[in-house]
Homo-oligomer: A and B are copies of this chain.
Amino acid sequence: MEERSVDVAVIGSGTAGLNAIGQIRRAGKSFVLINGGEPGTTCARVGCMPSKAMLQVAEDYHRHRQPSQYIGDGRGESVLDGREAMEHVRDLRDTFVDRVLGNSTDNMPEDLFIQDYARFVAPTLLEVAGQRIRAGRVVIATGSRPLVPPAWRAFGERVLTTDDLFELEDLPASVAVIGLGTVGLELGQGLHRLGVGVTGFDQLTTLGNTQDPEVSACAIDLLGKGFPIHLGRAAEITEEGDKLRVTAGAHSVLVERVLCSIGRVPNVENLGLENLGVALNDRGLPAYNRHTMQVGDLPVFLAGDVDGERPILHEAGDEGKIAGYNAARDRITAFRRKAPLAINFCDPNICFVGARWDDLDPETTAVGQIKFAPVGRALIMGRNRGLLRVYAGKSSGVILGAEMIAPRGEHLAHLLCWCIEQGLTVGRLLRMPFYHPVIEEALQAALYDLYGKVEAKNEGLTELATLTGAGS
């Protein structure tokens, strides 16, 4: 068997792998990029981009059909063309996939980009496409795929995942969404707003990965007003003619399709990770350091969704950069990871930033909150439903985290996350400019509530620092 040597081999040409390659190139090292299956990132092909395209169509149509006291006639008649809608989603997706490929693998020579599945023979020896590659270092960035229980595969195309949903020529009449994490919640609400009869199921008693009990309750209340949601019981699927019956406890529904969004599994099963010579966990993964992305003391690095830790694009990119940076150097550098930021693009957005509710000590944590009902701009926008909760150290006043279901939550989450990144206090935040009337004033109100509960207070005027440092 032919054998080649390179400085670094990267397995997987998704977001993490491409970011790793960028660092390896910059360091002037030789490399090979190996990808089994379809090229293009999870984000562009089946993740962020097509889902956001579908959500935008759904929001447009939803707003179009809202009753209005001042827009008359024609409104009730508007009809969505499902085929056109799906084609629009695919057109946008193709634009994004083409862009990714055009900027990465499209122009790579064949010897640098091998399109086949790789397998470890030893930690630095790979087999792929009938050749052996001896690499100084290896980056594993093979990503993940939707988890479908084996028994459900028998139902064939009637059980959809994000891998095939966007390929539908037309919208189904009815869908049961099983699993109401980020993916299930976004697409469930999207399909419902597109006129599909959606029923949601999750065996958890929360949805969208919320942890704060107040936010959880508000999310269930608000999103449950859209389509029926059944929580707390595992769903089962049975066949009924050409339809599927989904049952969870006392709730049962007959649907054309099931969207299975119960989680994702790492793409590792044929990778030969057992030949790394280290222990693998129950997901088939070796232990790694999240600050270096190194696997034990091996010249092997993990990056991106394959590790399942922060399966979102900007974190996958960071992991790829860290893995590539270290794979291209003799000394390993540990990098500080960013303050956690998660956004669910359902309406209202569900977001969490910084420390999660379950990790906070109630004894030392202060919580400030605001319901959106009275927020001026939210009232004007007709989007005054939601709840924002912000956490701070009781004595230090340092902002620790936040959870929300909020209109324009994506923007509030960025603002909060950037402040958490810098270790700012609630008092400092209250000295920031808040324009009027903006949704950011909801954050301001939550911060005032929080400020009353922490010990660290500003001198003089809460909202303004003295110029001279001297108080009165």
- Seen from chain A, the residues whose Cβ lies within 8 Å of a Cβ on chain B are 23, 43, 48-49, 52-53, 56-57, 60-61, 63-64, 68-82, 84-85, 88, 92, 95-96, 291, 312-314, 317-318, 321-322, 325-326, 329-339, 341, 343, 376-377, 379-382, 408, 410-411, 413-415, 417-419, 421-422, 431-440, 460-461, 463-468, 470-472
Contacts and interface: CB of A to CB of B under 8 A. Distances in A.
B413 A411 contact: no
Contact of A460 (B56, B317, B325, B419): B325
A460 B334 CA distance: 11
A321 B464 contact: yes
Contact of A414 (B330, B343, B435): B435
Given A461-B335, A464-B318, A80 B71 contact: yes
A380 B49 contact: yes
B438 A410 contact: yes
B421 A92 contact: no
B437 A418 contact: no
A202 B291 CA distance: 56
B77 A71 contact: no
A470 B413 CA distance: 31
Contacts of A318: 463-464
Contacts of A326: 472
Contact of A464 (B53, B322, B376): B322
Nearest to A77: B74
Given A72-B80, A92-B379, A313-B435, 5 more contacts: A70-B88, A314-B436, A322-B461, A417-B433, A418-B433
Contact of A73 (B78, B96, B325): B78
B74 A336 contact: no
A64 to B, nearest CB: 6
A376 B75 CA distance: 30
A335 B79 contact: no
B88 A79 contact: no
Given A63-B63, A71-B64, A411-B411, A334 B466 contact: yes
A149 to B, nearest CB: 29
Contacts of A68: 60
Contact of A438 (B75, B414, B415): B414
30 contacts: A49-B380, A52-B437, A56-B380, A61-B70, A61-B71, A64-B64, A69-B84, A69-B88, A72-B79, A73-B78, A75-B78, A92-B379, A96-B376, A314-B434, A314-B436, A321-B461, A325-B460, A326-B472, A331-B472, A333-B471, A334-B467, A335-B460, A335-B465, A335-B466, A338-B433, A341-B435, A411-B411, A417-B433, A418-B432, A418-B433
B460 A343 contact: no
Given A57-B70, A61-B71, A415-B414, A465 B435 contact: no
Contact of A71 (B78, B325, B333, B334): B78
Enumerate the 5 nearest inter-chain pairs by beta-carbon distance, A residue then B residue, closest first: A74-B77, A74-B74, A411-B411, A313-B436, A70-B84
B415 A415 contact: yes
Given A432-B338, A433-B417, A464-B336, A81 B70 contact: yes
A186 to B, nearest CB: 12
Contacts of A330: 472
Contacts of A437: 48-49, 52
A457 to B, nearest CB: 13
Contact of A421 (B73, B80, B379, B432): B432
